[in-house]
Structure 1
């Protein structure tokens, strides 16, 4: 049986699938990855056969939209821009797959696989890497763009989420999706966040101590650990210059605002000022041009990319947007986190860290050098935070989300 992996999104969505593909190939399975075109080089580095969904220009247009990073408008922009990937995915699966010979493992946004499941009868495994993607009345996630959402009762947050489905997500995603389904003689989808869960199997790539399982989660959901996969990113080791910088002084603060962020100028200006106020060194990670000031002072360095699994164990703290993959790497390193959320799941991940005593959250408007310095000083001076981070590091070291997920996929194959 051939396993077809479908990953739609940015690095945080695609790298876990490169990890899954590499492990499945090691176990003797035939695997091919379909993902946005810019990830072809990472798939080639991992020796994974690759099918491009769209072009590099298509991907750049999607992530360059300023509204993509707006707390309320971001979801609408996301689903509008990635709607084309649904048709590309379905067409590819329809051309190259046969029931009984193919298993599809798809990311949250890889909903073209769900269309293929409904039309062609292909077995599909849905993979959610964020707790936010799983609905629950009793433990509803914190949605972006809702002031003081973390203070609301869970059932009220759930009700607001249903409103976001109706007026934001479904309004952006369903017209084009249902036009495709109509051409295929399929009934329309009424609510995307319910339908995108495969009835075959759902893999939740986060541990139960980070997001406790709920009685109203789908029965076909299996929870696994974090996918720690930055070794499949743009570099596997620290550059010589960065290693020398780390050796030359005390542990620095590390700042990143995500691989796809195009509007991080204010964040990195504040990062430089924060290093000055605290007297700490800093590492700024930003792959996009124009994000970081050109006149960096001594003690602050900028790199497009560095493997967090190697860098963060040598850092004092991580200040970042709150993406779940970045969260997981800092947990594995056992360091405090300060989350400056932007959109999507960032607010939810930040609140989970805060509740577990592993970090703090500052909204972007409150991310000033003086305020952030006070928060960081409190985190770094707290024995309670240090103990919580050490406990999280030990927990993550005992887990392997990629291996556990592949075990679940193989059990599914055996059962069929």
Structure 2
């Protein structure tokens, strides 16, 4: 089975797709990650095939993140949001064309809901299509789609290209863009209550975690961890700041007030690039699956992927939500009992964070709750369940899918129909054999 996996976003949005691709490869399938060129090295280090889709939009995403953080009122203005999304609208036709090209001859297209080009490819080619939600999308059928202003801006970004392709407009693109065949929530039932009234093709699978078994820490990191009690890990991921030094000061002051050693991950904002006290270490890219279990607590921004990693590690958390669904995850973590009350960015200071850490680390209940939750989440097999559901979809609709000749107009690049049918027949036989082994 040739599977194309695509999404748009930061590392936390991409990691679950890499994890799913590795699961597919372990079971004899051929996954291809179709992502922003920024992720080429990350994907290829895993030995996976990579196809660049569109331009490198990290600068654009950084600008959007910064505007969302620094101007909360931006979410109330469709015109301002549309201005932020302008580069995405310009890049979308190219992303669509390149994704359609990569999808030629694919057996299934697997996409996050933030990649609108995928639904367009499905609508035009009828390639079997899977939507995956890694964020907290809410609602019963793929989320609310955001505020009215946000929906208006997304419509103005996506629907013009749909019209040029002869496709009907979507009133609510982030909801309407879900697959009509299979939608997977890569969330844990131990964290989120399954929404009532989900259609039969919607499934909660559990988180998709990327295992970093081969990771070897730098000597400085290994030595720091071995030299004392578990530190507090502080990481704000892809969040940008006008003054990274001021944020570094907050982290250092909070660690001192809490009386704890700390590891500060630099993230996209390049935090802690200075001489630090001996009780604090700065770190670059370190897999959260490796680092978080070695922490006394984790301070983070509440991104979906980072929150999931902290849940899995079984460590208490302080969430400092900045934007997007981070506020929802902060509330959920606190309600579960494994996190301090949410500490929104405007309220963040060395004093407020230090006090939150002291109270959290002094709470046996928070530690016990986090430990129990981590055990439950580690017992889930999200990527296995997802892989089985995807295989079942391809078996159910793959053979009956219309020929996808419109993926290419070149006769010499079209796959021979009889060869394609034979390949699918062999695929289904292998899938049936694997299900007997699972």
Q: Post-superposition shift, 1:350?
A: 0.5
Structure 1 counterpart of 2:362: 381
Q: Does residue 269 of the first structure (1) align with residue 249 of the second (2)?
A: yes
Counterpart position of 2:94? 88
Q: 148, 163, 166: which one pairs with 1:166? A: 148
Which deviates further from its counterpart, 351-360 or 281-290?
281-290
Between the aligned partners of 1:408 and 1:80, the Cα distance in structure 2 is 36
Pair 1:203 & 2:184 matched: yes
C-alpha separation between the residues in 1 aligned to 2:208 and 2:23? Answer: 12
Distance (Å, rounded) in 1 between the aligned partners of 2:27 and 2:270: 43
List aligned pairs for 1:209-358, cutoff 5 A: 209-229=190-210, 231=212, 236-259=215-238, 261-263=240-242, 265=244, 266-288=246-268, 290-292=270-272, 294-358=274-338
- Larger mean CA deviation between 316-325 and 254-263 belongs to 254-263
1:363-393 alpha-carbon deviations (Å, 9 max, x no partner): 1222222222222222212222122111111
Q: Whose radius of gyration is greater, 1 or 2?
A: 2
Q: 1:202 to 1:84 in 2, by over 3 A?
A: farther
Task: Report the Cα offset of residue 119 of structure 1.
Answer: 2.0
CA distance in 2, matches of 1:400, 1:386: 24
TM-score by length of 2: 0.82
What do residues 213-248 of structure 1 show as CA deviations (whole Å, max 9, x unaligned)?
A: 12233432110111222629xx82321110100111
Contact 2:311–2:374 (8 Å) recurs in 1: yes
Aligned with 1:103 (options 103, 108, 132)? 108
TM (norm. structure 1) is 0.86
2:157 corresponds to which of 151, 168, 176: 176
Shift of 1:293: 5.2
Q: Deviations over 1:175-231 (max 9, x none)?
A: 232111111111111112321211111010011121111223343211011122262
Say whether the 8 Å CA contact 1:323–1:345 is kept in structure 2: yes
**Residues 1:184 and 1:238: Cα distance change in structure 2 (over 3 Å):** same
Count of matched residue pairs: 388
Flag structure 1 segments of 5+ consecutive residues without an equivalent: 142-160
Q: 1:396 to 1:264 in 2, by over 3 A?
A: farther
Which ranges in structure 2 are unaligned for 5 or more consecutive residues? 398-438
Task: Report which stretch shifted further, 190-199 or 281-290.
Answer: 281-290
Partner of 2:60: 61
Residue 152 of structure 1 is matched in structure 2 by none
Query: Partner of 2:124 in structure 1?
Result: 119
Q: Deviations over 1:119-175 (max 9, x none)?
A: 222221000012x213249xx98xxxxxxxxxxxxxxxxxxx67x5421x2232222
CA RMSD of aligned residues (A): 2.5
Distance 1:59 1:72 in 2: 23
Specify the alignment match of 1:133 in structure 2: 137
Corresponding position of 1:24: 24
Question: Which stretch of the first structure deviates more once superposed, 342-351 or 187-196?
Answer: 187-196
